[in-house]
Every structure is written in C-alpha cells, then in structure tokens.
Amino acid sequence: MKIRSAPAILALVLWAGSRTGAAESPVIVVDFSNPQLDPFHWTLTLHPDGSGHFQSEMGKPPQGGSQEIDAPNIDRDVRLSASFTSHVFEVAQRHKFFNEDCESRLKVAFQGWKKLSYTGPEGSGSCTFNFSKDKEIEALGDSMSAVAETILEGARLELLLQHDRLGLDKEMEFLVDAAGNGQAQQICAIREILVRLAEDDEVMERVRKRARLLLAQGDT
C-alpha cells in the first residue's frame, strides 16, 4: 500500500473541502421567456457574492431588414451589488426558497413567464409566474427584468460604440431615463462600457456626461 505524505494528505483534504463547498454554495436562477419580445428568452444566474452569468436569445430578425442595431445573443459573466444580491437571497429564504405557488391566475396582460429557482444546502425550489399573487415575488421579478434590461443596454452601447457613435446619444438618454424610473437597475453590471464612454474623447460630450452621471450614481 502506498503511504501518502502529510502535505499530500492535507492537500487532498483541502481539495475535497473546496469541492464540497462549491457543490453546496447556494445559487438563484431567473429564467424569463416571452415570444413577443427580443430577446425572447434570457437567464440570469446569481451567487451570494454578487457574481453571476447572463445569457439571452434573440428571435429571428424582422423581414425587410431593420436598420436599428440591437443587442446580439449575450453570454457573459456579470457582477451585481452586495446589497441587491443580499436582498434577492433574503426574499428566497422568506419564500421557502421559491418552493411555493406564486402565480396569481388573475386575468392580467401577459408580461412573460418568469421562473425563480433556488438550489443550496438548505433546500431547493422554484416557482413560475406571469403575475404573482405575492407582492414581494412580483417586485423581485420586476427587479430582475430591470437588471436584464441594464445588461442588454450595455451590449447595445458596445455595438453602437463600434458601429454608430452618433446613435449613442439617443441610447444614453434612454438609459438615464430608465435608470431614473427603475426600468433599468444595477447599472454596476455595465460599469466597464460606461467607463469607456466617459473617457472616450471621440464620442459626443452629452454621451460622456451621461456616462459619468450613471457611474456617479452607482448601485448599493
């Protein structure tokens, strides 16, 4: 029988512990779908430290060829603020890790199916709704949609910076308004592109000013 050295045994124990910790780390996934929108489907995965991943799927381009530049399919890591992330996980805990029926079944306009899922050492669960009977769950769904809007706007800004710098003016005006009324949340998720715009002497001063404004507001 081969005898392992003490350092080798310690390394093995630490590796096994890290693997166990990774498996038990809680995660929340938001899955949204609405065939009437573009993107028609997106998912946002969120970890307790604010790290996460966003993926989106665009529908088929309209016939006739639209001249507007829109965000392509997105598949990227994101980071949200500590306070926002903490709130999301607290809501999950208060609602049995989403292991409950949250659809109102009221006759309301279709807004898109939102599925909230939780997996972690305490348990797991999920619920799907168009409009939730619980105000806190409905508000969480709205907030997550607003975060997705921010990430999508960031991707649009990246494309416009490359292909249509004049179009940045209108897009940044929209983003500032959306951040002000809550349609776009967690601007910190697109900090990188905002810094690039704020420091780019080749874009309009209005664009740079709005980028600085959004960066100054931050997210807590």
Task: For 114-165, write each residue's pLDDT tens digit.
Answer: 999 999 999 999 999 999 999 999 999 999 999 999 999 999 999 999 999 9
Residue for token pair 């780390």: 25
HEC readout, 150-193 = HHHHHHHHHHHHHHCHHHHHHHHHHHHHHHHHCCCCCHHHHHHH
Give how far Cα 118 sits from Cα of 88, 154, 203, 213, Å: 11, 27, 42, 35
160 near 69, Cβ under 8 Å? yes
Q: Which residues pair with 75 in a beta bridge?
A: 55
Task: For 15-42, write each residue's pLDDT tens digit.
Answer: 444 444 445 799 999 999 999 999 999 9
Nearest to 190 by CA among 178, 202, 181, 201: 178
Average pLDDT over residues 165-171: 97
Task: For 77-94, write each residue's pLDDT tens digit.
Answer: 999 999 999 999 999 999
Q: What is the DSSP letter of 118?
A: E
Instruction: Identify residue 179 by its one-letter amino acid code.
Output: A
- For residues 62 and 103, the model is more confident at 103
Nearest to 142 by CA among 182, 179, 108, 102: 182
Mean pLDDT of the chain: 88
- pLDDT given at position 49: 98
- Is it the case that residue 176 has pLDDT exceeding 90? yes
- Is it the case that residue 11 has pLDDT exceeding 50? no
Task: For 105-115, write each residue's pLDDT tens digit.
Answer: 999 999 999 99
